[in-house]
Structure 1
Amino acid sequence: MRLSTPYYLIDEARMLPAMERIRLVQERSGAKCVLALKCFSSWCAFDFMKQYLVGTTSSSLWETRLGHEKFGGETHGYSVAFADDEITEVVRCCDKIIFNSLSQLDRLGHHAAGISVGLRLNPGVGHSGYELSNPVCQYSRLGARAEDLPADIGSRIQGAMIHVNCDNDDFASFSSQIDIIEDRFGKLLPQLDWLSFGGGIAFTEEDYPVDDFCDRLRELSKRHSLQIYLEPGEAAVTNSTTLVVTVLDIVENEVPTLVVDAGVETHLLDVLTYNYTPEVDGVEPLTKDAKDFSGNTGHVYRICGRTCLAGDHFGNYLFPHLVAIGDEVCFSNVGGYSMVKKNFFNGIRMPAIYHRNLSGELRLVQQSTYEDFREALTNTHLV
């Protein structure tokens, strides 16, 4: 059966390798893994994922509430800044709350009596290929620096979160971060009960040195009597989700351009934000900014969306065959930061979301309508 495009397909069988790697890391290292909802919050898959992860971590009140209501287990509540009218409900929904700054801890910490309190720390070292997503860039607002911590901080918090990685598949880089963290926060760590390393560590990649990773985490945990947490987002859903689109038109302007029934800004926003080329099943990606496509053996196409944005460009690809109007194209690794960022720019139809379980059963879990678009910005109520 051919489904109407565009649609996202979340496939548990494709998610399973990452889940099994997460289970392995927890067993060997003693660390606990919580799903980062900022990356993936499609709760149709939570019953499957909760068999492997102990809970969720959030970036807002609504994510905290979603984790509490739909995932269960441990719920970690974090935000760059909690509002006064949110804090009571955040505390109600979470087991651990993590404040981003000393000022938030000072002003709102008294609301968190009865749950475990943490503080985000900034060690001044991290790993990111993009300045936009570098948590320890100059003037970073994310976390408290070692030199700013008061002498009594260990008596005021039970844990800490140090999230300084983005797409870090380099174990040596992560290992060196631990050395620096121990040097800069060495007096504080033994006073804590738990330490979270956040997300952005690509430990579910097939060639990641998982044994070394587990040894490093276990040694750190034992040395300071800490419960270690990891917050996989992309690492939890890598290769699990596809975006299937249809070619609506082929425009010729030096190189043929496939216009598909989706958009970069609307449905794969991170492609535009970070200017990378998303993977397409069975197709070789080419340099996105290439100007000369001569010399390629095969059929070169640009794939673009149908919004009015001139830069609505998914990427350049070398197909092994000619493409025709009506053909489907499958972007094969879009689980992270796609569905959570989709939007109604240009009034383009939102992709449906399908979910396939391990038994192969397919179900439609979301189908946006014109009414969803109409009500997104104006749904009038008397105040």
Structure 2
Amino acid sequence: MILKTPYYLIDEKKLLGNLRIIRHIRETSGAKSVLALKCFAAWSVFDLMKRYMDGTTSSSVYEARLGHEKFGKEVHAYCVGFSREDVRQVAAFSDKIIFNSLSQLEAFSGLAGSCAVGVRVNPGISFSHFDLANPARKYSRLGVTDRAALKKALPRLSGVMFHYNCENDDFGHFARHLEHIGRAYGDVLGRLKWVSLGGGLYFTKKGYPVAKFCRTLEAFSRAFGIQVYLEPGESAVTQAAQLVTRVVDIVRNGMDIAIVDASTEAHMLDLLIYRQNAKLQEKRRGRFTYMIAGRSCLAGDIFGTYRLGRRLKVGSEIRFLDAAGYTMVKKNWFNGLQMPSIVVRRLGGSLDVVRRFSYGDFVSSLS
């Protein structure tokens, strides 16, 4: 099948590799995993994912509703700032409501109905390569920092969330931080039913010591008699998708610049936010150097500079790897560019074009 570019290609076989690790962690350590929809919400593959995961976690009413309607199982509803109407809505279809602050807990916990209630705790420690994504940065608004006030609120709580990692593939660092949390909050954890350790842990990365990770999680759960949750986003979908593009022009200004029919600004926004280069499918370096750029009007719309083993021409296909996390959930209509279709390669190998976007979608997104 020849598909019109650009399109995101989700590969269920590659997705399955991550999901099997997630299931193994639950079976070995007892830690449950809920998919972080802020990272990946392509519900066309939820039928596969829900066989291996325990539910979803959200950052808004819409994400929580999507998890309820398209994934099922457990729904964890969190938001940095709920309104009264937000809480009324999520209480209708969520299992847990997690408040960001004690003031929100005080104001809205009475609206939670039968939902288990928790708060986010900021332990003052974190792992992040970027200050922009550091939840424990100076003046962070993310989570409760006052331990004395937290203890006073315990009668209202059944659990807490510690989300303090971002792209952490260092098991030793994770283990030391978890030990710190056990020491600092042990008297709190021992009075609760569940604890979420959040996301940002790259335990599906090749070479990660999954066995040690499982033993550490199981020991932590046993020490405090508490159910542990993980909130994988990237770990659930890493290496499971590509952004497939074609070259539409090649210009020269000090070097060869290949312009593709996609954009970092519109289709892989995190590359711009964190100033990173896209990963290419190309397996070998060669003698042909190209800057690969997007077709938006933004001067810095650059995927990266690469040495390729082939000469590019108009029509050449270029595939950017690791295009699942924080891509489709952030895609936008900047410049009115054609939005990539979403295609799934099913387990049996067939290609399923699950979504095409049109001018009508562009118009309906505006007013």
Q: TM-score, normalised by structure 1?
A: 0.94
Query: Can you give the 5+ residue segments of structure 1 that lack an aligned partner in the other structure?
Result: 286-296, 379-383
**1:202 counterpart letter in structure 2:** Y
- Indicate conservation of the 8 Å contact 2:55/2:73, yes or no: yes
After TM superposition, give the deviation of residue 150 of structure 1 in Å. 4.4
Counterpart in 2 of 1:341?
A: 330
2:84 aligned counterpart, secondary structure: coil
1:82 CA drift (Å): 0.6
| Paired positions, count | 367
SS in 1 for 2:186: coil
Structure 1 residue 230 displacement after superposition: 0.3
Q: How does 1:234-253 map to 2 (within 5 A)?
A: 234-253=234-253
- What letter corresponds to residue 23 of structure 1 in structure 2? R
Counterpart amino acid of residue 274 in structure 2: Y
Aligned match of 2:357 in 328, 346, 368? 368
2:257 aligned with 1:257 = yes
Residue identity over aligned pairs, in percent, reads 47
What is the deviation of 1:205?
Answer: 0.8
CA distance in 2, matches of 1:150, 1:5: 51
Residues in 2 aligned to 1:181 and 1:235: alpha-carbon distance in whole angstroms: 22
Q: 1:322 aligns to what? A: 311
- Structure 2 counterpart SS, 1:221: helix
Match of 1:112 in 2: 112
Contact 2:182 2:220 in 1 (8 A): no
Deviation at 1:146, TM superposition (A): 4.1
What SS does structure 1 have at the residue aligned with 2:187? coil
- 1:84 to partner: Cα distance: 1.6
Aligned to 2:38: 38
Q: Is the 8 A contact 1:121 1:161 kept in 2?
A: yes
Distance 1:12 1:151, change over 3 A: closer
Whether the 8 Å contact between 1:77 and 1:97 is mirrored in structure 2 is: yes
Aligned to 1:24: 24
Q: Which residue pairs with 1:216 in the alignment?
A: 216
CA contact (8 A) 1:247 1:260 kept: yes
Pairwise CA distance, 1:47:
0.1
What CA deviation, in whole Å up to 9, does each residue of 1:219-252 have, x standing for no partner? Answer: 0100100100000000000011110000000011
- Aligned mates of 1:186, 1:26 — CA distance in 2: 22
Provide the secondary structure at the position in 2 that maps to 1:175.
helix
Higher mean C-alpha displacement, 138-147 vs 219-228: 138-147
Q: Distance in 1 between matches of 2:147 and 2:193?
A: 21
Tell me how far 1:284 sits from its aligned partner: 5.8
The 1:308–1:101 alpha-carbon spacing in structure 2 relative to 1, beyond 3 Å, is same
Deviation sequence 1:106-139 (CA, Å, 0-9, x none): 0001011321111100100010000000011010
Once superposed, what is the RMSD of the aligned Cα atoms? 1.1
Q: Name the counterpart of 1:292.
A: none
CA displacement, residues 183-242 of structure 1 (integer Å, 9 cap, x when unaligned): 221210100100001100000112111111101100010010010000000000001111
2:290 aligned residue: 301
Query: Which residue of the partner structure matches residue 15 of structure 1?
Result: 15
Whether the aligned pair in 2 keeps the contact of 1:283 and 1:318 (CA below 8 Å) is no
Alignment of 1:283-302 (within 5 A): 283=283, 298-302=287-291
Partners of 2:186 and 2:224 within 8 A in 1: no
Aligned partner letter, 2:242: T
Secondary structure, counterpart of 1:145 in structure 2: coil
Q: 1:344-359 alignment to 2 at 5 Å? A: 344-359=333-348
Counterpart of 1:376, as a letter, is: S
Residue in 1 that maps onto 2:78: 78
Please give the secondary structure, in 1, of the residue aligned with 2:85. Answer: coil
**Deviating runs (4+, > 3 A) in structure 1?**
none
- Note if contact 1:269-1:338 (Cα within 8 Å) is conserved in structure 2: yes
**Residue 123 of structure 1 contacts residue 180 of structure 1 at CA under 8 Å; is this kept in 2?**
no
Cα gap change, 1:361/1:178 in structure 2, threshold over 3 Å: closer, same or farther? same
Segments of structure 2 that go 5 or more residues without pairing to the other structure are none
Give the deviation of 1:153 after TM superposition: 2.1
Letter in 1 for 2:321: S
Q: Does the 8 Å CA contact 1:146/1:184 hold for their aligned counterparts?
A: no
Counterpart-to-counterpart distance in 1, 2:243 and 2:150: 48
Q: TM-score, normalised by structure 2?
A: 0.98
1:284, 1:317 within 8 Å by CA — same for their partners in 2? no
